Chain A
């Protein structure tokens, strides 16, 4: 019970503080915070908005798992951003070149995306273990190299219609129907009314759930997950226990990149191509979601939904003019910063209480010895 209280205190406290700070920010510029929150919640109560939120939460969650795999062993894969965009482009191009039976076509695209993400992240892992290059710096540089260099180059080369392109034909050639994961509106509509406004719930949601389950089983049921957590908690002890540290670093980076490769597939399935302006920033947002959800497969679900809710709320705020829509990004930033601080504080209180309890227990046994 006490443990649960501790686990909940930080996120709840962070949430309350975020509301207070954002309300002040809104009020300072003459908006009414309550009507803004009211608009956001009223909007989110609609089925169509919920579809939007899930569509947004799906890539955020996958991205968070990618970041969390690294975080679990104190590796900071800041490069999720570059990994997913690069994987997205290559997968879109490969997918557009072939026509296969649906299952194989989808699997091919996924495999390519996963392999590209894994390979690109692997570079940072290999550089770390062989050359001692800090992965934070190397992944930041690899981001820039992928986005301003490789993607710019390949996108130009793979431009669908080289002669006379218009804004609608920009991007890679469209992927045939057989390569796309169908939407899962049908599954939802069993329980609800029909989804309107032409909204489609992405089939990648199922993939995201599978990724979350795989991550959970990896950590709790598999030797590798144990090694991963052990190396993160105490690298020296892990090494003494026979866990090869270098191999773990590379494996964690590769696995993290593999998950990152899947992020772009949400947009790929929606647009059936790599458009010249893909959704950017999911990699960095995923880091935030992972931190907020404490790298926990369940916690990250809530964090991803919260971030997705805030992202989607930007649209309604713009419509109703209740507040500047940028406030949602502020709320994301504040909730993240406050939450990481709150986690630190509760962890410290908890360890202090544990130390106290141990000391008391020790004193009690000593007292018994004296008595006998």
Chain B
């Protein structure tokens, strides 16, 4: 099948095929290197828990950048969401906590919108300012409210669910079968691995995780099929043309950036209420920035952002449970194969530099894999960031960002 035909297949079919190929690769590598953690249910569960805030931040970035406003303030907005989410959940319970977290992030978004849209401050500069201001605000508030600048008391969080039938959840008192568990227990090669990874996505499911997954089709519909989405996009592609059609560009830019802050805030609230169970300074761990990387990786599309977030989340999640470094070691072999594939792909496109670079990296990963039984902790710590860099190194030129992204806009072209 030619590349063109392949690209004509809808993305929602293409990506699962990529995912299956990826799992197949993981299965084979596991067979070779005697590790079972790569496709365990706990790994995919951790992946999802890591990916949700990354995804929400990335999706937030999508709303902002589709409207033409670069948002590196996502990290700050996520931190605001962390604090306000924790505060809300401690005082008013888990559900209100999430809402207040969204509100906290949205305030950060509003601030960014005022600076960039109304006052035409450079988008990166305003984002940097918000990233400096947000942790300062949360430290101050924590100190005043909880008597410690960096930690809060324990927060509360909504209960987790198992999806019925797939994950053995209960519906109206009826205990449904746990299909994926049964398939996992059959221990069939590959099929049970897929089931194990899938089961992590449907059991112990947090409301926000479910919401995050549902936001993908919803956002696609909103961005591509509605009047709001069209106007949002025109604000980021060609605001003057939109203005000529009578669209209130300023309004849509504000809407995009505030929604962006709200989503990042929800991601932050998820961290402080669900992941760490309390507000703790520094717990954002740069997820806002990684969300931005997921946005770029996903080429400014909702499904792509989710894939990017899951990919980065997988590496983080695997590292979390991989105390002896054997699973990350097995991952080196995966790196080898993937980089080898990139080298071949680049060679077919006559991109010499890419081919050479990918080949060198593939050989390096392979040699390392051969020469050691485990990788040290520092390597698994930096792997996600290295992955982000590598993805950008090989694919940055294939991406298409909104045309007027980062450009100042003034009504009437002043």
Chain A interface residues (CB < 8 Å from chain B): 25, 29, 76, 78, 127, 130-134, 136-138, 140-142, 144-145, 148-150, 152-153, 284-285, 287-288, 291, 324-327, 329-330, 332-334, 336-337, 340-341, 343-345, 348
In the bound assembly, the distance between CA atoms of A358 and B312 in angstroms comes to: 54
In the bound assembly, the distance between CA atoms of A141 and B73 in angstroms comes to: 16
From B387, which residue of chain A is reached at the shortest CB distance? A141
Of B111, B119, B392, which contacts A133 at CB under 8 A? Answer: B392
The reply to whether B137 and A330 form a contact with Cβ atoms under 8 Å apart is yes
| B253 → A minimal CB distance (Å) | 15
| B68 → A minimal CB distance (Å) | 16
The reply to whether A134 and B396 form a contact with Cβ atoms under 8 Å apart is yes
* Contact flag A133-B393 (CB < 8 Å), given A148-B382, A337-B115: yes
- A interface, by DSSP: helix, strand, loop or mixed? helix
A141: which B residues are within 8 A, CB to CB?
Answer: 289, 293, 385-386, 388-389
The reply to whether B136 and A329 form a contact with Cβ atoms under 8 Å apart is yes
In the bound assembly, the distance between CA atoms of A65 and B72 in angstroms comes to: 22
The reply to whether A337 and B396 form a contact with Cβ atoms under 8 Å apart is no
Of A137, A288, A334, A341, which contacts B128 at CB under 8 A? Answer: A288
Is B292 part of the binding interface, using a Cβ–Cβ cutoff of 8 Å? yes
The 10 closest A-B pairs by CB, nearest first: A333-B133, A149-B382, A329-B136, A326-B140, A144-B385, A153-B378, A337-B129, A141-B385, A333-B136, A326-B139
Number of A-B contacts (CB under 8 A): 132
B385: which A residues are within 8 A, CB to CB?
Answer: 141-142, 144-145, 148-149
The reply to whether A291 and B120 form a contact with Cβ atoms under 8 Å apart is no
Of A133, A325, A333, which contacts B396 at CB under 8 A? Answer: A133
Is B121 part of the binding interface, using a Cβ–Cβ cutoff of 8 Å? yes
B389: which A residues are within 8 A, CB to CB?
Answer: 127, 133, 138, 141-142, 145
Is B296 part of the binding interface, using a Cβ–Cβ cutoff of 8 Å? yes
A134: which B residues are within 8 A, CB to CB?
Answer: 296, 392, 396
* Contact flag A334-B378 (CB < 8 Å), given A133-B392, A141-B389: no
The reply to whether A284 and B392 form a contact with Cβ atoms under 8 Å apart is no
Is B273 part of the binding interface, using a Cβ–Cβ cutoff of 8 Å? no
In the bound assembly, the distance between CA atoms of A291 and B126 in angstroms comes to: 10
The reply to whether B392 and A137 form a contact with Cβ atoms under 8 Å apart is yes
From A146, which residue of chain B is reached at the shortest CB distance? B382
- For B101-143 the 0/1 string (1 means CB < 8 A from A) is 0000000000100110001111011101111111111011001
A152-B381, A288-B129 provided; 17 other pairs, C-beta below 8 A? Answer: A132-B397, A136-B124, A148-B382, A287-B128, A287-B132, A325-B143, A329-B135, A332-B136, A333-B129, A333-B132, A333-B134, A333-B136, A337-B129, A337-B130, A340-B122, A341-B114, A341-B119
In the bound assembly, the distance between CA atoms of A332 and B132 in angstroms comes to: 8
| A232 → B minimal CB distance (Å) | 12
CB pairs A–B below 8 angstroms (15 shown): A29-B144, A131-B394, A131-B396, A141-B385, A141-B389, A144-B286, A145-B385, A288-B128, A324-B140, A325-B143, A332-B132, A334-B133, A337-B133, A340-B125, A348-B120
Max chain B CB contacts within 10 Å: which of A144, A291, A334?
A: A144
